[in-house]
Amino acid sequence: MERTELLILNDGKGNSFETAIAQLRDSHSLKIACSYLQPQGWEIIRSIFSKQILQRSKLIFTDQLSITNPTAVRMAMNDGVATRVFRGNATYHPKCYLSVSSDGTPLRYVLGSANISLSALRTGVEVGVGGNEPSHLRELSVWFDEVCERHSIAVNAAVLGEMEGIWKLAAASRAKNRLKMVVTTTGPEVSGSPADLAETYEDAFESLVKPIGMLNFDHAGNNVRTLQLAREALDNWPSADGKTVSEMKLLGFVSDGTLTSLGKAAKNTSTHEDLALAWCGWLLDTPDEVLSELNARLVAAKRSFLRFCSLSEEVSDFFVANALESSEKKLLQTIELICNASSMVEKLGLAEIRVLSKLLPASEYMSPASAEAITTYFANKGARGWSRDDRRIMVNAFRRALSAR
């Protein structure tokens, strides 16, 4: 085998950890030992390697300092990677990527400072080396196997659940500190840039679930996108055009051309508040599997309403009190948007979310999927309906329905 060495600098000229790791793509499997794991970083790894390679690979990471995002761990597990977490008294800080042949022979290594994150693999100030020196490969492979067998445990649901609880508090604390750093001491203007908050975006938005759930009644199409339009359709039932009937079905009011029990109960209400309460109660009581078969946006709505109810009281009360305040629209949109983000947002205060609102969409610091979802939100459903009182009515109705159960 010809010996080759590579110096890795993330120099913006095609010499990055991403391109170096891509040289391992012809392997049969991988042995990866890294300190921290982030969703955008794992997206890069899965874009390089086939499913078959990942399913034969091993990964050892650490949850020390609670930096590893549990969403990224779950992604790796879902890809079939044998995922293990370091357990030992020492600080775990390696960044080692090994390609392995079908007979277990190590073929090439990449070593350096890069964890599995977007910035580390592409744009961060990092340095490393790649090579295939046989003696180094043998020692690295033996070292990996020893750490794997003697100093790590397999990640299961219990381990991941414990990680998530600790990570949520730590991620929120980090986000608060970063957000404070980009606010001037003289007023509410933001002095930093989205790049200053890249890790916060990753912690919050890389577990963004699509479709984006709205906090109003816009969960079907244009014919029944408000409480008023739903009221008119119910009052005029059964005189409705085909599109309206289809949308009423998507909202749970109609099935097989007739009103459901929800539809009948909603038709008998006299106010938007009572209509919203009836619908929110039905949404809470209906299993997600049933909602998903009916309309995926209903699951998203349920998820976003539940997250809203878990936000700090300061944030949720502000949203209710200012839902019609046009001068606060971007902040209100951001609150609605984070109701689809990771659980760490539950620990953010209004001041931190206000900073986020001034920097979003910041699409260049997110994965393509998250960036597209957020950009689409601001351009479409997230941009409309703010002159109506539906959002205030709906979140209050959901709170009432939730407290009654």
Model-level pTM?
Answer: 0.75
Contact 266, 310 (CB under 8 A): no
230 and 148 fall within a common domain: no
Looking at residue 185, its pLDDT comes to 40
End-of-domain residue from the set 139, 155, 171: 155
CATH classification at residue 37: 3.30.870.10
Looking at residue 113, its pLDDT comes to 96
End-of-domain residue from the set 104, 131, 155: 155
Residues 125 and 123: their CA atoms lie apart, in Å, by: 7
Residues 311 and 124: their CA atoms lie apart, in Å, by: 33
133 and 12 fall within a common domain: yes
The phi, psi pair for 303, rounded to 5°, reads: -60, -45
Contact 62, 35 (CB under 8 A): yes
**Does any domain span residue 316?**
yes
Residues 177 and 14: their CA atoms lie apart, in Å, by: 33
Residue owning tokens 């090439």: 108
**Does any domain span residue 43?**
yes
Residues 62 and 66: their CA atoms lie apart, in Å, by: 8
Contact 35, 115 (CB under 8 A): yes
254 and 364 fall within a common domain: yes
Question: How many distinct structural domains can be found in the chain?
Answer: 2
Instruction: Express each pLDDT in 53-109 by its tens digit.
Output: 999 999 999 999 999 999 899 999 999 999 999 999 999 999 999 999 999 999 999
**Does any domain span residue 188?**
no
Contact 283, 301 (CB under 8 A): yes
**Does any domain span residue 250?**
yes
**Does any domain span residue 164?**
no
**Does any domain span residue 133?**
yes
Average pLDDT per consecutive 10 residues, the chain (405 residues; last block may be shorter): 79 91 96 94 95 98 93 95 96 97 97 93 92 96 97 96 89 79 52 63 74 96 96 93 95 96 97 98 98 96 97 97 96 96 89 87 74 90 95 98 94
Looking at residue 314, its pLDDT comes to 97
End-of-domain residue from the set 155, 188, 214: 155
94 and 240 fall within a common domain: no
Looking at residue 184, its pLDDT comes to 47
330 and 237 fall within a common domain: yes
230 and 150 fall within a common domain: no
Residues 99 and 26: their CA atoms lie apart, in Å, by: 8
112 and 248 fall within a common domain: no
**Does any domain span residue 185?**
no
Q: Give the dihedral sign, CA 333/338/339/341.
A: positive
Question: Whole domain around residue 295: which residue ranges?
Answer: 222-403
Instruction: Express each pLDDT in 309-332 by its tens digit.
Output: 999 999 999 999 999 999 999 999
